[in-house]
Copies of this chain bind each other. A is one copy, B any other.
């Protein structure tokens, strides 16, 4: 069994920091950093995001109509000016090998469909007598990216094309596929998702299958479980409180669908230096409390954890945020996490998430989504713990919390800053 079945993936993705313009140098630098500093905490995936085939790609905006690099079968290849090791049609093979040599895993982003440029040139589909014009649908295009035509899922050449790209990725040694322009398009693109899933899962190499963009459609939860490993529950997530605030409700809805290889995905963590293409000094706008809130929610919810910032520029706080062993253990050990209640009280907006601990205890994550510091009193009975002989540890501060008795019932008091959080480990003694 792959670890992906047990644990939601942890890694790094180039988008938040480099947009469509990531380069080989940057990928290698971050892979080296992860291998040296983060691998021991469980971080292992290095994922190259969108438009790596575009020689002109630079920032978070897509360059329309550029001449994407392809092979003679219309399969995209890395732009050689950005990925020198791809020279001579070698694709991502050398880069993947290098990432593997560091003990890590290697992933790439792809768009559904076939390059429009392959259609304009009417290239043949590998291993078939079909051509690109026969399998492409001219009016089936992505709403926000200019590169591809969607395929006709009923045409057998479409399956052949997808088979051909996964064969290529297998030859490169790819471990993780982030497929874009499909997740939220249910039911319109359900047939195409099923086709791609079949193709990927029959290619002969285990790859994590991640689909974007969100928000995923709740009514399709079982369909996502059947066809993918992780699916985005939100549109692109950035360092804005409104988006983090909204994630509580998204996570609440999806919480019962998490676990055992099913990973609703709250998107990358925009921490440390981000948006490097626009402004070299740009850092996340989230406060430290907000970052703790984000990391606590993502971890108890067991979202995939994909770092979005340039890791070599991380400061101490950021490193502590992503290397807290107990929090990362919760990310593996939490079971059946869900939001227990949400209340306005004492000037704050308090939210309680609870989870069973796979070892017989409980986790409680407490959030203050309000604008004022305020006090939370957690009755242990709200966790359905009816003993007072309980050891309670706050995991961010590694601090044992005392038990107070309120009208004969055990309780824990906590003060939470605005947009702040605490995570408790509770064990009956």
Chain A residues with a Cβ under 8 A of chain B: 1, 5-6, 64-65, 116, 119-120, 122, 133, 136-139, 141-146, 222, 225-226, 252, 255-256, 259-261, 335-343, 354-356, 358, 360, 381-384, 386, 408-409
Query: A65, A139, A141, A252: which has the most chain B beta carbons within 10 Å?
Result: A65
What is the copy number of this chain in the assembly?
A: 4
Closest to A385 in B: B358
Choose from B65, B381, B383 the contact partner of A138 (Cβ within 8 Å): B65
Please indicate the chain B residues that have their CB under 8 angstroms from the CB of A342 in the complex: 222
8 contacts between A and B (CB under 8 A): A1-B409, A6-B386, A64-B136, A222-B343, A260-B340, A260-B382, A336-B337, A336-B356
Please indicate the chain B residues that have their CB under 8 angstroms from the CB of A64 in the complex: 133, 136-138
- Chain B nearest CB from A168 CB (Å) reads 24
A234 to B47 Cα, complex, angstroms: 46
Choose from B65, B336, B340 the contact partner of A355 (Cβ within 8 Å): B336
- Chain B nearest CB from A61 CB (Å) reads 12
A408 to B335 Cα, complex, angstroms: 23
Question: Are B141's CB and A146's CB within 8 A?
Answer: no
Please indicate the chain B residues that have their CB under 8 angstroms from the CB of A340 in the complex: 256, 259-260
Please indicate the chain B residues that have their CB under 8 angstroms from the CB of A335 in the complex: 336, 356, 384
Please indicate the chain B residues that have their CB under 8 angstroms from the CB of A222 in the complex: 341-343
Chain A interface, >50% SS class: mixed
- Chain B nearest CB from A327 CB (Å) reads 19
9 A-B pairs with the lowest CB-CB distances in the bound complex, closest first: A138-B146, A336-B336, A256-B338, A360-B360, A356-B356, A64-B138, A65-B133, A120-B120, A260-B382
Choose from B5, B139, B384, B386 the contact partner of A145 (Cβ within 8 Å): B139
- Chain B nearest CB from A183 CB (Å) reads 18
Choose from B5, B122, B256, B261 the contact partner of A256 (Cβ within 8 Å): B256
Please indicate the chain B residues that have their CB under 8 angstroms from the CB of A337 in the complex: 336
Choose from B136, B142, B226, B341 the contact partner of A139 (Cβ within 8 Å): B142
- Chain B nearest CB from A376 CB (Å) reads 15
Known: A64-B133, A256-B252. A408 touches B1 (CB 8 A): yes
Known: A120-B120, A338-B336. A381 touches B1 (CB 8 A): yes
- Chain B nearest CB from A258 CB (Å) reads 10
- Chain B nearest CB from A194 CB (Å) reads 14
Please indicate the chain B residues that have their CB under 8 angstroms from the CB of A386 in the complex: 1, 6
Question: Are B259's CB and A384's CB within 8 A?
Answer: yes
Known: A65-B119, A133-B65. A384 touches B260 (CB 8 A): yes
Closest to A359 in B: B360
Query: A145, A260, A360, A386: which has the most chain B beta carbons within 10 Å?
Result: A260
Please indicate the chain B residues that have their CB under 8 angstroms from the CB of A226 in the complex: 343
A137 to B146 Cα, complex, angstroms: 8
Question: Are B65's CB and A122's CB within 8 A?
Answer: yes
Query: A116, A138, A252: which has the most chain B beta carbons within 10 Å?
Result: A138
A136 to B136 Cα, complex, angstroms: 20
Please indicate the chain B residues that have their CB under 8 angstroms from the CB of A408 in the complex: 1
Query: A360, A384, A409: which has the most chain B beta carbons within 10 Å?
Result: A384
